[in-house]
Amino acid sequence: GAGVSQSPSNKVTEKGKDVELRCDPISGHTALYWYRQSLGQGLEFLIYFQGNSAPDKSGLPSDRFSAERTGGSVSTLTIQRTQQEDSAVYLCASSLVGTGFKETQYFGPGTRLLVL
Amino acid sequence: AQTVTQSQPEMSVQEAETVTLSCTYDTSENNYYLFWYKQPPSRQMILVIRQEAYKQQNATENRFSVNFQKAAKSFSLKISDSQLGDTAMYFCASLLSGAGSYQLTFGKGTKLSVIP
């Protein structure tokens, strides 16, 4: 596709429910990133994929968070047993590879998650 | 670890005037990259301009230019001939250049309002 796409655009859920957020990177981009943007914390890195592998999961806030990527393309971020503090905008980005200047990260429009 | 500081939470500028957004960063590395991203109300993070730390020449993109002062670890963004469409949050970000470096570190952002 022309850009990074994310779905859903907005998600409202009840505390304790599981949610899945989807990211479709730019075609051909091998690296994919998830960030979280919240009012109090700014933009924080969550996880990075190179192909289908996630070399670094240290940014995930808790074991309720998990992510996977299949076919070197689409990625899903899953939050189990959601809590109110999970409310935020979840941004996905992709780049050609994972390092270097040429591999600028291009962002999707984000998913706004509200946990009631 | 890297840190990025944007000391101006909010700024405003008259249409057609020039405005400068400040950014300072802290890193012990010699090679890195710096970025300015724009986030309008649509939430889409849009790359505005980027700079390689080893290049002394300041980057420019049409009405956008940077003043990169490596010794002072300063990376300010100048917007000339401000337009209403420039109203957005602006984020300064850094990225190390080494292998395995993939995580953008963002500042807290500056909310820019262009006044007609």
Q: pLDDT (tens digit, 9 = 90+) per residue, B39-80?
A: 998 888 999 999 988 888 999 999 999 999 999 999 999 999
Contact assignment for A107 to B33 by CB distance below 8 Å: no
- Structure confidence at residue B58 (pLDDT): 94
B52 to chain A: closest CA residue: A101
- Structure confidence at residue A32 (pLDDT): 92
What is the length of chain A?
A: 116
- B108 near B6, Cβ under 8 Å? yes
**Which member of B43, B95, B97 has the closest CB to residue A89?**
B43
The minimum CA-CA distance between A42 and chain B, rounded to whole Å, is: 5
Residues B81-100: what's their mean pLDDT? 89
Contact assignment for B107 to A42 by CB distance below 8 Å: yes
Where do we find the tokens 């999970």? A86
d(CA B112, CA A43): 18
Contact assignment for A107 to B46 by CB distance below 8 Å: yes
Which residue in A43, A99, A106 has the most chain B C-beta atoms within 10 A of its own C-beta, making it the best mutation to test that interface?
A43
Q: Is the pLDDT of residue A2 over 60?
A: yes
- A56 near A48, Cβ under 8 Å? yes
- Structure confidence at residue A102 (pLDDT): 54
Which residue in A101, A103, A107, A114 has the most chain B C-beta atoms within 10 A of its own C-beta, making it the best mutation to test that interface?
A101
d(CA A91, CA A46): 10
**Minimum mean pLDDT among A68-72, B67-71, B93-97: which range?**
B93-97
Amino acid at B74: S
Q: Specify burial of residue B11 (Cβ count, 10 A radius: 0-12, 13-18, 19+).
A: middle
- Structure confidence at residue B100 (pLDDT): 65
Contact assignment for A89 to B101 by CB distance below 8 Å: no
CA dihedral defined by A27, A99, A91, A37, rounded to 10 degrees?
-170
- B96 near B37, Cβ under 8 Å? no
- A94 near A47, Cβ under 8 Å? no
Contact assignment for B44 to A98 by CB distance below 8 Å: no
Residue B7: φ, ψ to 5°: -85, -5
- Structure confidence at residue B28 (pLDDT): 84
Where do we find the tokens 């262009």? B114
Q: Is the pLDDT of residue B113 over 90?
A: yes
d(CA A88, CA A115): 9
A58 touching B (Cβ < 8 Å): no
Where do we find the tokens 């300041």? B58
Q: Is the pLDDT of residue A43 over 80?
A: yes
- B66 near B49, Cβ under 8 Å? yes
